[in-house]
Amino acid sequence: MTNPLLDTSALPRFADLAPEHAEPALRKLIAEHRQKLATLLDNPDTTNFDSLVTRLEEMDHELCRVWSPVGHLQSVLGDPGWRDAYNTCLPLLTAHGTELSQNSKLQQAFERISASMPSDATPASRAVVNNALRDFRLAGVALSAEKKEQFREAKQQLAITQALFDQNVQDSTDAWHTQVDDEHVLAGLPTSVLDRAKMDAAEHKHGGWRLTLDYPTYHAVITHADDRELRKTFYRAWTTRASNHAENAKWDNSDNIEKILSLRHQLAQLVGFDNYADYSLATKMASSTDEVLEFLSDLVDRTRCGAEAELEALQKIAVEPLEAWDTSYYLEKLKCERYSVSDEMLRRYFPAERVQEGLFDLANQLYGVTLRVVESVAGWHETVQYFEVHDNEDALIGGFYIDLYARSGKRSGAWIDECIVRKNLAGEKIEPVGYLVCNFPPPDKDGISLLTHVDVITLFHEFGHMLHHLLTRVDYPSVAGMNGVPWDAVELPSQFMENFAWSYEVLKKTSGHVETGEPLPKDIFERLLESRKCGAALAMFRQLEFALFDFRIHADYEPDQGARTLEVLRLVREDVALIRHPEFNRFPMSFSHIFAGGYAAGYYSYKWAEVLAADAFSAFEENGLFDAKTAARFREEILEIGGSRDIMDAFVAFRGREPQLDALLRHSGIGEAA
């Protein structure tokens, strides 16, 4: 029987896929590709772009299509079989990628192709070749055989350890719960959270309420629970996940962090960089570690006054000296006091299905695309839906799966990932497909999930990423969609999209009261908009703390001193954290963005790209939120180009100038506070 993973004729056959398909499929495909490449390199015509580069693009596209369901399913299903399959295959895939990047014969062929490219070569084809030559260098193609082997081994071990880090965080999160039998302890919590906790307790044959550590529950407790001890309990559980201070320390990530930072430093030095931060910047917009640190320090200076004022306002309404588990709670109280808005009141206006419909209407209004659910496409869970995306002439652009709700075994957070990347080569055109994943409160007994406005912003953010993936016009997969885009610019489309969630014209169509269907009233929106700046400086300070911590542990790493993770975090917090963190806080042990994701020495990218996004959105504020010409320019200059063009040149082409910081500070009210 044919392995269903190897069937790339259509969408993944999720109903037919099983973990045991993964390793045989990857081994077979890698072996075939290895043989195809050897044949290509033996051909004297390898200096021809189409005979080599295009074939490599097609092979990589095929491999990514086979690997994508494996990586995806181990993130969204609590099936240990998929995790085992992923862990088995990851070293194979990593070794194959490094083998290609260290292939001297292949690199020399690319050098010849680069030298012979015609003057009228497309920007996309030039980007493919230039990126490949850069990646050859970053993978150590010029190293001795011995050092190449060291690089390969380090790369493989790094991939394995990063995966283990992420899985430890998930296991530690899923394993924790607390049983509450006294209803008074739960005062302040939303009814939806209490209903789920009561159902969960009953399923485990208990009375009372069983509260777990999924993000919707954690966020509800830390924001709404009147019982301070309950907030502290959840704060401790959340900030000690995957550490030696967790209730179960078997998932402690301390040693994994030491190994990850050591391996990254080793990789960077092998190919001639002083540290991993320098190595990381070789593929980013920022040109140096000094530029990044100056950018972050400037934001710290501009934000400090506002953050201190916000903290003082919180302390005035608190009944005790503020601790880390109090700030979200009193910030919610402050918003209620000053603006008469609360998460619980707003939630009634944002049923998930209505928000989704309004978001899709916005995409249609901006870019002329239509989204249609396709009931016949099977997903991996009963709540997953598949949507096709069509242009204004009803031609298919692509599609995406959407998986909105939290459940046990599913990785926390929100993200999009590639299922299929756009390809239009050798007479075959493949449309892009993606996965959009969130962790919103699961539907209640009536099938309704109510979102906070923060959840709405999250959905807009991820959908911005999805539009970037879907609307690309680039034909080469390696620079289509988000591929080839510098990591510190990849958040531009997503953070840009967030701004629309602060527009009344948008929210009027994206809201509908759960009982009456009435859209969000204008007076409530006005109060919500006023509350946007409440806590913005403290939130900025928190992100700057994370960014500085990430950058410094990579830029300042010394092998003889080790990771010094908690020491570096303490030093950063002394400078930029206004809230005292308790000694037990072990936040780094669950910081998957940098220790398991793509943000190593790159967490600053969120703020860097936010400057670009706020400035880009200001063009819509100036010309009209739904101005067709502005939307068309943004689509053409930013969303469609993938990694085929220098992103600063693209931004200037859209905005008419280089980005400025003013819009970000204005949106957050930080400039006013300063």
* Marked catalytic residue, from 462, 491, 498, 637: 462
CA distances from 347 to 6, 220, 383, 499, 513 (A): 43, 12, 20, 19, 9
Q: Which two tokens stand for residue 52?
A: 């080599």
- Which among 164, 97, 149, 137 is positioned nearest to 268, based on CA atoms? 137
Helix (H, G, I), strand (E, B) or coil at 562: strand
The answer to whether 3 and 25 are in contact (CB under 8 A) is yes
CA distance 590 to 239: 8
- Which among 134, 104, 131, 105 is positioned nearest to 46, based on CA atoms? 105
Determine whether 462 is an active site residue: yes
CA distance 70 to 658: 41
CA distance 194 to 86: 35
Residues, the chain: 674
Residue 207 half-sphere exposure, CB side, CA atoms within 13 Å? 3
Partners of 430 in the β-ladder: 423
CA distance 388 to 375: 11
Q: What is the DSSP letter of 580?
A: P
CA distance 11 to 69: 10
The answer to whether 165 and 595 are in contact (CB under 8 A) is yes
Please give the helix or strand (H or E) that residue 605 lies within, else none.
helix 605-623
Contacts 24+ apart (CB under 8 A), 513-517: 513/348, 513/349, 514/348, 514/349, 514/351, 514/448, 514/450, 515/348
- Which among 468, 466, 438 is positioned nearest to 452, based on CA atoms? 438
The answer to whether 6 and 29 are in contact (CB under 8 A) is yes
CA distance 614 to 655: 11
Burial 377-388 (b: 16+ CB within 10 A, else e): bebbeeebbbbb
Q: How many CB atoms lie within 10 A of CB 204?
A: 10
CA distance 507 to 500: 8
Rg (CA), the chain: 25
What dihedral angle (degrees, nearest 10) is formed by the CA atoms of 567, 569, 573, 575? 70
CA distance 163 to 298: 34
The answer to whether 180 and 212 are in contact (CB under 8 A) is no
CA distance 493 to 365: 16
Residue 170 half-sphere exposure, CB side, CA atoms within 13 Å? 23
Burial of 392 (0-12, 13-18, 19+ CB in 10 A): exposed
Q: How many CB atoms lie within 10 A of CB 240?
A: 23
CA distance 138 to 270: 9
Q: Which two tokens stand for residue 580?
A: 């005292």
The answer to whether 387 and 371 are in contact (CB under 8 A) is yes
- Which among 496, 388, 406 is positioned nearest to 193, based on CA atoms? 406
Catalytic residues: 462
